[in-house]
Chain A
Amino acid sequence: MASRVAILVPVRDDASGLARTLEAVRARAPELGGVTVFVVDDGSEPPVDPACLPERTSDFRVVLARHTVNLGQGAALETARQLALSAPVPFRAYVTMDADGQHRASDVRALVAAIEQGADVAFGNRFMGDSNVPPGRRVLLFCARWFERALTGLRLADAHNGFRAFRRGALERVVIRQNRMAHATEIKLRVSRAPALRVVEVPVSVRYSRETLAKGQRSTGAAAVASDLLLHYLFGDSP
């Protein structure tokens, strides 16, 4: 059985947040049986400096790729997905994680454990964990949850949570064509339409700070997500 865990991390213009996130992952790497992090720098200016990232150890490795122009978080995640899947030795689980410090490295273990226990896809649920979700964001996520339920049929308690884990076979089916923030809904759509995938939710903690709220999705982003989904439904290859 494959031993290491792959973590896919898109990042843009947040080198310090990335370094802190990777440092936290490195601290947890031994208990995870080794981690390879696939970081995709989505057109940061200045580019992510490899020298600023935590050093390689036997349990912790970082593969760094860079989009020369900014394409969007979905596109960066797709690049990381292709990189991780191209490795000849499969990973035990493939975890997607934000670079801004919202997600706790300590929760990776629970997501990986869900995959090891038979789930094909484990979605993080911030409402079951120790999260400090602001009231405005709660309302937005409540609406997004019902929107995604109607669209995908998946009855999940959280929406647009970037903290998830996949078994390899499941990740192979989740091709991301939405370059921007609509990729989170697209992932759920693809999971819902893939036959016989076992989907679970795992409690995770999402910690909001002034920084993460400033960088994260705004309420107006919901309209952009809906617009992207519609346009790709009409003119693209998205489901």
Chain B
Amino acid sequence: MSIAKALLLLLVAGLVAFDFITLRGKNRRGLLLEVAVFVAGAVFIVFPERATALAHVVGIGRGVDFLLYPTVIWLVRESLSSRRQRIESAEQLTQLVRAVAILQAREVGAPPHPQSDGASPQVVESSASVTA
């Protein structure tokens, strides 16, 4: 076995061990999927000719390309999906913080019995239902 193969297998085993320890029994199904994917990856690391044989079946020259193409496509898709989810989460946080701010808005130094004009605390409170 070459040094590169040994290092890659060590990396795969190390990542699985790290996730197993840090997850502490949580998200077991996700961990099982990760292990399955990593075992498949380890098989292709040790026996790269298997990947090449599979690549030839579908008309791709090299085994590494057979693995790389779908991986890159999946990673790009995952990256865009994560970005969209982050923006959606940020918008939800913004709406929540804004709703609290509007609900708690007060006129500075207002008398105890506010007048019914555009600046009274009561008016401000009534705006709490306004959303973006």
Residue B90 lies at the interface, judged by CB distance under 8 Å to chain A: yes
Beyond A62-B108, A63-B121, A235-B83: 15 further Cβ-contacts under 8 Å? A4-B118, A6-B118, A56-B110, A61-B119, A63-B124, A64-B108, A65-B101, A69-B97, A75-B94, A79-B98, A82-B132, A85-B130, A86-B126, A87-B117, A179-B90
Which single member of B80, B98, B126 contacts A78 (CB below 8 Å)?
B98
Compute how far the CA of A40 lies from the CA of B105 in the bound complex, rounded to whole angstroms.
9
> Which of A's residues lie within 8 Å of B, judged by CB?
2, 4, 6, 36, 40, 50, 53, 55-56, 61-69, 71, 75, 78-79, 82-83, 85-91, 175, 177, 179, 231-232, 235-236
Nearest Cβ distance between residue A54 and chain B, in whole angstroms?
9
Q: Mark B80-107, 1 if CB is under 8 A from A, else 0.
A: 1001100100110110011011101111
Please tell me the number of chain B residues within 8 Å of chain A, measured between CB atoms: 31
Contact indicator A87/B104 (Cβ below 8 Å): no
Contact indicator A83/B105 (Cβ below 8 Å): yes
Residue B71 lies at the interface, judged by CB distance under 8 Å to chain A: no
Minimal Cβ-Cβ distance residue in A for B105: A65
Which single member of A56, A65, A91, A175 contacts B118 (CB below 8 Å)?
A91
Compute how far the CA of A179 lies from the CA of B86 in the bound complex, rounded to whole angstroms.
14
Compute how far the CA of A46 lies from the CA of B22 in the bound complex, rounded to whole angstroms.
36
Compute how far the CA of A75 lies from the CA of B121 in the bound complex, rounded to whole angstroms.
21
Residue B70 lies at the interface, judged by CB distance under 8 Å to chain A: no
Contact indicator A71/B94 (Cβ below 8 Å): yes
Given known contacts A55-B109, A232-B87, A89 and B118 CB-to-CB distance under 8 angstroms: yes
